[in-house]
Amino acid sequence: MGENVETRGDERTDLIVGDTNRDGKADLWVSDTDGDGKADLFQFDTDGDGKVDVTMVDLDQDGNPDEVVSGDGGHAPN
Ligand SMILES: [Ca+2]
Ligand SMILES: [Ca+2]
Ligand SMILES: [Ca+2]
């Protein structure tokens, strides 16, 4: 279990769900948590087990992550 990260909002809208290694399972999630339509939560499943291994939060939505933690940061994909 990783630490919980704070996001801009409490909602979660997945803007992009990707399958970068084409094994049929999602391994990339780009999400909007505050409903403004801009991505602020980025998650990656690096080992292909369907669970998030790295979470990045871009609190000011400038494209650069402000916090990076291992695990899903308390924000598991649906
Ligand atoms: Ca947002
Ligand atoms: Ca994983
Ligand atoms: Ca940022």
Pair 57, 74: CB distance under 8 Å? no
Measure the CA dihedral 40/46/47/53, to 10°: -40
Domain coverage including residue 24: 13-70
Contact (CB, 8 A) for 9 and 31: no
> Would you say residue 22 lies in a domain?
yes
pLDDT, one tens digit per residue, over 21-75 is 999 999 999 999 999 999 999 999 999 999 999 999 999 999 999 999 999 999 9
Domain count, the chain: 1
- Confirm whether 7 is domain-assigned: no
Residue 8 lies in a domain: no
Q: For the whole prediction, is pTM greater than 0.85?
A: yes
Asked, for residue 2, whether it belongs to a domain, the answer is no
Q: Tokens representing 54?
A: 């790295």
Ligand 3 centre distance from Cα of residue 62 (Å): 5
Q: Ligand 2 centroid to 27 CA: how many Å?
A: 8
Question: What's the gap in Å between 66 CA and the centre of ligand 2?
Answer: 22
Q: Which ligand is nearest to the CA of 7?
A: 1
Dihedral through CA 34, CA 39, CA 40, CA 45, nearest 10? 120
User: What is the Å distance from ligand 1's center to 64 Cα?
Assistant: 13
Is 2's pLDDT higher than 80? no
Ligand nearest to the CA of 40: 1
